Structure 1
Amino acid sequence: MSRSHWLDEIKWDDKGLVPAIAQDYQTGQVLMMAWMNRESLMLTEQEQRAVYWSRSRARLWRKGEESGHVQKLYSVQLDCDADVILLKVEQVGGIACHTGRPHCFFRRLLNGEWKENVAVAKDPKEIYNHD
């Protein structure tokens, strides 16, 4: 059996992607959701850090490549339908979201409106170099 056989068990969408949820391995906090293709998932397993497929940039994206906020891999899990990946990670620097927050789920629906309920931990202008 080939080393990449486990990739064949995943139900990839028509673009060759699968949604991936990153979760803090210690607290269980859902940090973010991103997309993975075969190569990014294989690299994630090989490098033991989260590597995603950026749909907007149409290229591989190593989480933290610009910000330094790498996601160290603890485990990869596949859901019952084989169409969603769960990455249990250590979020280096404590910031997973490009908005400078600990996670991407910082808006809560209250009385028919989205309300921010998580403060910015670090100004994104201090995280990303936008020369």
Structure 2
Amino acid sequence: MTTPYLLILLVIGLGAGVSSGIFGIGGGILIVPALMYWAKFSQHAAVGTSLAILLPPVGLAAVTEYYRSGNVDLKVAGIVAAGVLVGGWLGASIANQLNGHTLKLVFGLFVLLMGAYLTASAARAI
């Protein structure tokens, strides 16, 4: 692995970690596109790798800090995690049936819709 490639991967990880700690996001919004465009991964490989990346650290550093501050509801987290477990398997099964271009289109539309929703709700609150 070359030094520039290693640095790209470290920058992707740092950016995702900071945004995860601040906004609770990182995988789909940052890691997947970064792996696709900077590291030349396919859509499917970027999603699968993103899931593998997030599995250990999300359960450790950021959650520990939020828990220390009293900002983690473990009961709710357990219930939602059960849904994520089943939903993650179902979503991965569906995604693996789609071609890369369709998956990229669906992902882009999802990001656009979420961005529009968040922007509109923030604008109403001002």
The structure where strand makes up a greater share of residues is 1
TM-score category by the smaller chain? Answer: under 0.3
* TM-score under structure 1 length normalisation: 0.27
* TM-score under structure 2 length normalisation: 0.27
The structure where helix makes up a greater share of residues is 2
- Which structure is higher in RCO with an 8 Å CA cutoff and minimum separation 6? 1
